[in-house]
Structure 1
Amino acid sequence: MSDSDMHQEAADLLASIPYFAQVDAQTLSAIAGSATRRSYTADQVVLLEGEPSSGLFVVQEGWLKSVKTSPEGREQVLRVVGPGDVFNAIGALASPTNPGTVITLEPATVWILQRENLLRLLEEHTGLAWMVIQALAERVQQLMSQVEDLSLRSVEARLARLILEEATGESFIRQRWDTQAEMAARLGTVLDVLNRALRRLAADGIIKVERHRILILDQEQLAAIADLDT
């Protein structure tokens, strides 16, 4: 791929992201010209917690997870990101180091906007600054909701909410990388506890677990578990 093609590819991707909705075409082209494209294999570390932040990352292809790991090696997934998502905004804007570790769940391609370039753009474009502030506020709300779930809701309730939030119609299609071990990490639990929760919901006729999907048989009851089991 030629440099001009890569430049246009980056510009097209950035133009589709709300962060850059208020940025004019000329500035967007300049941002794209300064961006760096990187590709990763599955299960590869993209960012390591505590290392100097290199900038803002935009996902072009693939899925990645942001995690915190306990001294005992237990992993808590903070967020899963896919095509069109942005990550490491806190590291790029508010902290000199990466706040978490990011690992690919499958082969992935990202574009990196260097921290220095991003800070300069925020000074020059108030529209972009407001979009970033809004996105950061939404991320804080998501983290607060996650803390509430982990503190106040049972694994079964967290599982019910995950299925409902990510289902299309009455079917929760699992990505290739979304093993039950990954689901357990996303829910802040361990595999045995997750399996028991799945079996209980299935035994009660609320869901049906298949190899690559979970069918919702009783959406009303599943919603009641997600909302009321605190």
Structure 2
Amino acid sequence: MAARQLVVQDFGAGAFVARRGEPSRYWIGVERGLIKLAVYTPDGRGCTFSGVPAGGWCGEGSVIKREARRYDVIAIRDSRVALIPDTVFHTLLAESLPFSSFVVRQLNERMGQFIATVQNERLLSVDARVAQAIAQLFHAALYPRTGEVLELSQEEIGLLTGLSRQRVNQALRRLAAEGMVDLSYQSIRVTNLERLRHFGLSEL
């Protein structure tokens, strides 16, 4: 039943997958590409909560509470997105123990990620924020399909962190000089994930 009602849509870079304030009618999964969860003020200031790469899901909290979406969901690059209708989601949540267990784990892991993101934004240096933004994409429970090479441009990292491409470039060069990443055109190979995950946390 769920597979028959799943909707798959393509979104171009910069397109809204879901908008803040709209009813949360779908649970959102990324089949291909990269999306972000963010809020923006009328004068253009923004705050990004998380990036979601291929293999990740988002938005379960809003669907569970049947509330209006509290953030925009935006495609950072051309993306193919799977949309599970809220009616199907609630049926699976009520009738499938494996599904409900998966959703609970997702909520728990995402809460931890959001807390870390707020901490990083307020307390870490810019270089450390870039390191943490990259490391978060390797969260095995939330993003199981992330490989050691990220097809991620400096501009896209800037969209995830709220930093300019030039400042991201400086941070990446430092991380590369310290042996945590190798840089190529439009891609980053993580060579020491544990160091990357802990980079800058001594500042706290």
Do the aligned residues in 2 keep the contact of 1:58 with 1:112 (CA within 8 Å)? yes
Q: Structure 2 vs 1, CA of residues 166 and 124 (structure 1 numbering), >3 Å: closer, same or farther?
A: closer
Answer yes or no: is 1:133 the counterpart of 2:133.
no
Which one of 164, 167, 178 corresponds to residue 206 of structure 1? Answer: 178
**Counterpart in 2 of 1:112?**
83
TM-score of the superposition, structure 1-length normalised?
0.68
**Counterpart in 2 of 1:229?**
203
> Which structure exhibits the higher relative contact order, with contacts defined as CA atoms closer than 8 Å and separated by 6 or more residues?
2
Do the aligned residues in 1 keep the contact of 2:153 with 2:187 (CA within 8 Å)? no
SS of alignment partner, residue 81 of structure 2: strand
Counterparts of 1:140 and 1:219 in 2: how far apart (Å)?
21
**Counterpart in 1 of 2:54?**
83
Do the aligned residues in 2 keep the contact of 1:75 with 1:185 (CA within 8 Å)? no
Answer yes or no: is 1:46 the counterpart of 2:17.
yes
Counterparts of 2:81 and 2:194 in 1: how far apart (Å)?
39
- Across the aligned residues of Structure 1 and Structure 2, the Cα RMSD in angstroms comes to 3.2
Q: Structure 2 vs 1, CA of residues 195 and 70 (structure 1 numbering), >3 Å: closer, same or farther?
A: farther
Counterparts of 2:150 and 2:186 in 1: how far apart (Å)?
5
What are the equivalent positions in structure 2 for 1:1-230 lying under 5 Å apart? 30-163=1-134, 173-175=149-151, 178-191=152-165, 193-198=167-172, 201=174, 205-206=177-178, 210-213=184-187, 225-230=199-204
Do the aligned residues in 2 keep the contact of 1:205 with 1:217 (CA within 8 Å)? no
User: Normalized per residue, which structure has more helix?
Assistant: 1
- Cα deviation 1:43-93 (Å, max 9, x = unaligned): 211101111111112222222222222343133322222322212112211
TM-score of the superposition, structure 2-length normalised?
0.76
> Which residues of structure 1 form unaligned runs of 5+?
1-29
Do the aligned residues in 2 keep the contact of 1:50 with 1:99 (CA within 8 Å)? yes
Q: Structure 2 vs 1, CA of residues 130 and 220 (structure 1 numbering), >3 Å: closer, same or farther?
A: closer
Q: Structure 2: which amino acid aligns with 1:82?
A: P
Do the aligned residues in 2 keep the contact of 1:63 with 1:104 (CA within 8 Å)? yes
The percent identity for this pair of structures is 23
CA radius of gyration, larger in:
1
Aligned length: 194
Moved over 6 A (4+): 215-224
